[in-house]
Amino acid sequence: MSRPTLSRPIAIAPSILSADFSRLAEEVRAVDAAGADWIHLDIMDGHFVPNITFGPPVVKAIRPTTAKRFDVHLMIEPADPYLEAFAEAGADSLIVHAEAGPHIDRSLQAIRHLGKKAGVAINPGTPVEAVEFLIDRADLILVMTVNPGFGGQAFIPAMVEKVARVKALIGDRPIDIEVDGGIVPETAAAVAAAGANAFVAGSAVFKDGPAAYARHIEAIRAAAESARRG
């Protein structure tokens, strides 16, 4: 008889921020074929973060290229006026930042009302307590392991302890703990041991071109799995 497990399934989520934007649909197909569990889409507004990416029309354009979960990370302020548009464009999960407005509880309710998974992200300087009273509205907590805005930054080691605190906070609730920023096999192992189960990776997946996507995704997965086993 198998024992019930309290751990959420491991998910590797390549961030297409590091993909070749001139061939975005092909890039999504390539990471799908290479074993990505989710596709992570970084939405930046040049206001909440010092960079600009893309909006709902691009999400909609690449939606037909894969059946994998579209994990949409909204680094925008305000987020509420755009939730419906991203949902209609094909998001499966919508992640809002705890720092991006005074009514995040309302945002999470709105996301669930749209029939999507509701995620809340916290920046490196934001304490875990920022999500404590939101926990029952959330399907996913995203612990930023870099300051959001750019790919290719170095993992912030203090975030390992933060992941452990989020894990303690959620207990046995069926909530994903996602990490984003500077994830490579070594850092994935550290945060997996602390309780993370979803791993966003941009540069670590895309850095060597399509022939290496599967190898890099599997390296992150293997590191996370073996750290979990202890």
Binder of residue 111, out of ligand DX5, Zn ion, none (CB less than 5 to 8 A by kind): none
Which of 42, 45, 139, 178 lies at the binding interface for Zn ion (CB under 5 A)?
42
Closest CA to 36 of 205, 177, 149, 164: 205
> What residues are labeled active site?
42, 180
- The number of helices, as runs of H, and strands, as runs of E, in the chain is 8, 8
Which residue's Cβ has the minimum distance to ligand DX5?
202
* Per CB under 5 A, 97 contacts Zn ion: no
* Per CB under 5 A, 178 contacts Zn ion: no
Q: Is 70 known to sit in a ligand binding site?
A: no
Closer residue to ligand DX5, CB minimum distance, 5 or 220: 220
Binder of residue 35, out of ligand DX5, Zn ion, none (CB less than 5 to 8 A by kind): none
**Both tokens assigned to 78:** 């305000």
Binder of residue 18, out of ligand DX5, Zn ion, none (CB less than 5 to 8 A by kind): ligand DX5
C-alpha 155/C-alpha 138 separation (Å) is 25
Find all residues with CB under 8 Å of 30, minimum gap 6, and list them: 210, 213
Binder of residue 201, out of ligand DX5, Zn ion, none (CB less than 5 to 8 A by kind): ligand DX5
- Name the phi and psi angles at 228, rounded to 5: -65, -40
Residues that bind ligand DX5 (CB under 6 A): 15, 17-18, 40, 42, 73, 146, 148-153, 180-183, 200-204
Closest CA to 32 of 1, 10, 63: 63
Which of 18, 53, 180, 227 lies at the binding interface for Zn ion (CB under 5 A)?
180
Query: Shortest gap between Cβ of 3 and ligand DX5 (angstroms)?
Result: 34
Q: Is 150 known to sit in a ligand binding site?
A: yes
Binder of residue 153, out of ligand DX5, Zn ion, none (CB less than 5 to 8 A by kind): ligand DX5
Burial class (CB in 10 A: 0-12, 13-18, 19+), 59: buried
Contact (CB, 8 A) for 179 and 216: no
Strand order in the sheet with 69-75: 11-14, 198-201, 176-180, 140-144, 117-122, 93-97, 69-75, 38-44
Closer residue to ligand DX5, CB minimum distance, 220 or 227: 220
Q: Is 208 known to sit in a ligand binding site?
A: no
Q: Which letter does DSSP use for residue 152 in this model?
A: S
C-alpha 195/C-alpha 175 separation (Å) is 11
Binding residues, as ranges, are 15, 40, 42, 73, 149-152, 180-182, 202-203
> Which residues are part of a known binding site for substrate?
15, 73, 149-152, 180-182, 202-203
By the criterion CB under 5 A, which residues form the site for Zn ion?
42, 73, 180
